[in-house]
Structure 1
Amino acid sequence: MNKSLQEVLLVDDNEADNFLHRAVLEDMAIAERITERLNGQEALDYLLTPDEQGRYPSPDLICLDINMPVMSGWEFLDAYEQLPAERRRGVVVMMLTTSLNPEDAELARKRSTIGAFSNKPLTASKVLQLIEEHFPERG
């Protein structure tokens, strides 16, 4: 697959999960850039920091863990949803979790910001399904 996404942001405190998810994405050659942050606060700080030209990062896809120290995935979403709509436009948030709590899946369904909810690990088939559903013009 050609690199259909400019950037994927991996937000997970588990470095082994980040390593595996990066490997899946790199094997698929799906993104120009893959960025990793270890908790919601680091991810939020990243999104709020402009580059030298004053442009803010705008990943196409954010893969977000739920249970993290410092700032959880839910807390990240609360803060992320306060960003201006134009900064969030076109961004798909995929919650990836090991949580077996059915309430997490139900909460995710109720949040329009969340485009996909899945159990870890991220797999090529999950990525392809996400691309087909949310980025059909790029698949």
Structure 2
Amino acid sequence: MKKIRDLDHVLLIDDDKPTNFLHKKIIERAGLDVDVQALTSAVEALEFLTYSGKYEGTEDIKRPGIIFLDINMPGMNGWEFMEAYHALPETQKARIVVIMLTTSLNTDDRDRAMKDKDIATFYHKPLRPEMVLELVNQYFPETEELS
């Protein structure tokens, strides 16, 4: 297992529970020593990031270094989440790498994601361990081996 400096927590935001389960296993298979939290609602994810709603008073819980965000979700979709995310204070966004995930083949989605300054990259589902490791190496280059 690798302990990654500045990366203690990964947040999965996808309304599909089996996809969240699979992605959690893939992150584990990548050999990272991180907590993985899966939420099925973009609204709940915003509450988690802002310590509001049912997450009020949880400032002691570590917030994510990476967010894997699905585009197509009921209620608030990934694009609407990003609109709300842009409005957050920088202190709540600091050191978070947002990765847009989709099964969509629409090239407009990729173009739109790559124009967003807060989206690091755009991947097609499902995640693979090498994708996770590539992100970690790019955005969190300092690693420490655990004994």
Of 117, 126, 138 in structure 1, the residue corresponding to residue 122 of structure 2 is 117
Q: Secondary structure in 2 aligned to 1:118?
A: strand
The 3 A distance-change label for structure 1 pair 121 and 108 is same
Q: Which amino acid aligns with 1:3?
A: K
The 3 A distance-change label for structure 1 pair 111 and 53 is closer
The 3 A distance-change label for structure 1 pair 132 and 33 is same
Task: Provide the TM-score with structure 2 as the length reference.
Answer: 0.86
What's the offset of the Cα at 1:28?
A: 2.4
1:102 aligns with 2:107: yes
2:2 counterpart residue number: 2
2:80 counterpart residue number: 75
Q: Is the 8 A contact 1:25 1:31 kept in 2?
A: no
**Range with greater deviation from structure 2 (109-118 or 52-61):** 52-61
RMSD: 1.8
What's the offset of the Cα at 1:86?
A: 1.9
Q: Secondary structure in 2 aligned to 1:96?
A: strand
Higher relative contact order, structure no. (Cα contacts within 8 Å, ≥ 6 residues apart) = 2
Q: Which amino acid aligns with 2:112?
A: L
What's the offset of the Cα at 1:3?
A: 2.9
CA distance in 1, matches of 2:20, 2:131: 16
Q: Is the 8 A contact 1:131 1:138 kept in 2?
A: no
**Range with greater deviation from structure 2 (111-120 or 127-136):** 127-136
Q: Where does structure 1 lack aligned partners over 5 or more consecutive residues?
A: none
Q: Is the 8 A contact 1:11 1:38 kept in 2?
A: yes
Displaced runs of 4+ in structure 1, greater than 3 A? 50-57
1:66 aligns with 2:68: no
What's the offset of the Cα at 1:52?
A: 4.2
Identity across aligned pairs (percent)?
A: 41
1:20 counterpart residue number: 22
Q: C-alpha offsets along residues 85-110 of structure 1, whole Å, 9 cap, x if unaligned?
A: 12211100011110111000000110
CA distance in 1, matches of 2:141, 2:10: 17
2:50 counterpart residue number: 48
What's the offset of the Cα at 1:82?
A: 0.8
Aligned length: 139
Q: Secondary structure in 1 aligned to 2:3?
A: coil
